[in-house]
Amino acid sequence: MRMVLGTLLADAGEVLWGGAPITFESRRRFGYMPEERGLYPKMRIGEQLKYMAELHGLSSAQAMETATRWLQRFGLGDRTRDEVQKLSHGNQQRVQLAAALVFEPLMLVLDEPFAGLDPEAVDSMSQVLRERAETGVPVIFSSHQLDLVERLSDRVAIIQKGRLVACGPVDELRKEGAARWWVDVPSAREGWADHLEGVKVVRREDTRWLVELDSAERDQALLQAALATGPVREFARDVPSLLDIFREAVTEERVGATA
């Protein structure tokens, strides 16, 4: 992210925007929200947003109008004259996002934007980011809160020690994983699926078994084997979460590095 914004130089490769090497003028139109606080703590929030908008080329009148509009949008319209340091952590995060939005950026780059926020603040910021994306503004953000990443993102990249280990829409990443089924068979004993070709029991949770198939076409053979042990109370495809996908991608990367 710092390479995109020009605050860190790349050792190799290049950053492209619109198919061409990124320029200073392009960077001036990018909205950036760093993980660490990037605001002046003793400056009034209205003056601060106006100042930042002017730095990006807006006139004084335009800057004041957009600063006021974003503060009102984030529920801070009555705190324009407050210093940043007097705000709660969540409200400081709102102001920091407003600072990235106040000049109508071409792209948003956000580093851990939801860290430490309460659910109401998360919902408020999420709605704004969705709206920006729907207008065609690319929104790139990093986060370790994978439930939020899964909920918000059209496309996900998983990076492990500087290497891209998985990339794509979440639904496509799910399809790339092994076919797994949950089977609830109360009367089944250990080893009930061992005779099935291409079938591996991953784990057991009471009467439920998570079973991995090397081919989705083996699901009927698995069901028949389960029925042979007695009544089957559940037979359902396991839909991995983004956390499951992350764990699998990172584990594969570690195994590959060790090999």
Identify whether residues 50 and 6 lie together within a single domain. Answer: yes
Residues 83-97 as b or e (16 or more Cβ within 10 Å = b): bbeebeebbbbbbbb
Which residue range forms the structural domain that includes residue 200? 178-239
The CATH number covering residue 210 comes to 3.30.70
3 neighbors 9 (Cβ within 8 angstroms): yes
- Considering the chain, what percentage of its residues have pLDDT values greater than 70? 97
The pLDDT of residue 176 = 74
Does 146 reside within a domain?
yes
Identify whether residues 31 and 107 lie together within a single domain. Answer: yes
Identify whether residues 115 and 186 lie together within a single domain. Answer: no
Does 144 reside within a domain?
yes
Beta bridge partners of 209: 183, 204
Identify whether residues 109 and 221 lie together within a single domain. Answer: no
Identify whether residues 146 and 194 lie together within a single domain. Answer: no
The pLDDT of residue 255 = 55
Identify whether residues 15 and 114 lie together within a single domain. Answer: yes
Does 161 reside within a domain?
no
**What are the pLDDT digits (tens) for 31-78?**
999 888 788 999 999 999 999 999 988 999 999 999 999 999 999 999
67 neighbors 102 (Cβ within 8 angstroms): yes
pTM here? 0.77
Give the DSSP letter of residue 143. -
Q: How many alpha carbons lie under 13 Å from residue 105 in its C-beta half-sphere?
A: 28
d(CA 185, CA 206): 10
Q: Which of 218, 174, 217 is nearest to 193 (CA)?
A: 218
Q: Which of 99, 121, 154 is the last residue of a domain?
A: 154
Q: How many residues does the chain have?
A: 259
d(CA 237, CA 217): 12
